[in-house]
């Protein structure tokens, strides 16, 4: 049920006809992407772990649908924008995770790359804005939580839900 809401919101806001309509396989890619983000966000919220196999599987499925959609229409802009954005974000967040492993895990870096794949396919600038604001908002929530409930267990904040919300918001807003 929790995965249905963001997926439905993404699919329902995309125009089906007209000049802004997306090809069906691109829409399918975004639907797979949205489901995966919702599930990953829930898992991270509960366990502070982002399963690598799930991220890789979602990225593979979303990319395969982007490739098929690009080949079917002869328009590779969604694929190239998404892949370029995902690669750049993966490098940046991966470097952050390597330099500051107590602040960011590699699961977060993989999830950020997945967010960039889908959101970047529609809006590179929106994707980068969402991905730069997500850690900031998560940090503010962590600071507030630490002040409200002092103790080591309350200070940890899952970044995944903030990454997912930012990416989903970019895709939904892009439709308008």
Q: What is the mean pLDDT of residues 5-24?
A: 73
Dump the DSSP string for 161-175. Answer: HHHHHHHHHHHHHHT
pLDDT tens for 86-96 read: 999 999 999 99
Q: Grade residue 124 by pLDDT with cuts at 50, 70 and 90.
A: very high
Task: In whole angstroms, give the CA distance from residue 32 to residue 131.
Answer: 19
Q: What is the DSSP letter of 20?
A: T
pLDDT tens for 22-81 read: 888 999 999 999 999 999 999 999 999 999 999 999 999 999 999 999 998 899 999 999
Q: Grade residue 151 by pLDDT with cuts at 50, 70 and 90.
A: low
Selection from 71, 43, 67 nearest residue 55 by Cα: 43
Q: Grade residue 156 by pLDDT with cuts at 50, 70 and 90.
A: confident
Who wins on pLDDT, 32 or 12? 32
pLDDT computed for residue 67 by the predictor? 96
Task: In whole angstroms, give the CA distance from residue 112 to residue 17.
Answer: 30
pLDDT computed for residue 3 by the predictor? 63
Statement: residue 165 has pLDDT above 80: yes
Torsion-angle region of 125 (φ positive above 0: left; ψ -120 to 50: alpha; else: beta) = alpha
- In degrees and rounded to multiples of 5, residue 146 shows phi and psi of -65, -35
Task: In whole angstroms, give the CA distance from residue 2 to residue 5.
Answer: 6
**CB-side exposure of 14: number of CA atoms within 13 Å?**
23
Q: Grade residue 4 by pLDDT with cuts at 50, 70 and 90.
A: low
Task: In whole angstroms, give the CA distance from residue 108 to residue 163.
Answer: 9
Average pLDDT, the chain: 89
Task: In whole angstroms, give the CA distance from residue 37 to residue 39.
Answer: 5
For residue 99, give every residue at least 6 positions away whose Cβ sits within 8 Å of its Cβ, in sequence order, or none.
none
Helices vs. strands in the chain: H and E counts, helices first: 8, 0
């Amino acid at each position: 049920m929790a995965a249905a809401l963001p997926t439905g919101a993404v699919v329902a806001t995309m125009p089906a006809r007209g000049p802004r309509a997306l090809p069906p396989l691109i829409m399918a890619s975004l639907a797979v992407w949205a489901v995966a983000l919702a599930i990953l966000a829930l898992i991270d919220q509960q366990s502070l772990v982002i399963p690598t196999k799930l991220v890789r599987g979602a990225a593979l499925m979303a990319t395969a649908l982007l490739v098929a959609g690009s080949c079917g229409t002869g328009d590779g802009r969604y694929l190239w924008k998404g892949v370029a954005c995902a690669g750049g974000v993966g490098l940046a967040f991966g470097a952050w995770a390597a330099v500051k492993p107590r602040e960011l895990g590699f699961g977060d870096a993989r999830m950020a790359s997945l967010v960039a794949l889908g959101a970047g396919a529609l809006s590179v600038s929106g994707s980068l804005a969402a991905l730069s604001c997500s850690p900031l908002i998560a940090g503010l929530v962590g600071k507030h939580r630490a002040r409200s409930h002092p103790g080591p267990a309350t200070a940890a904040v899952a970044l995944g839900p903030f990454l997912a919300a930012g990416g989903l918001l970019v895709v939904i807003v892009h439709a308008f």
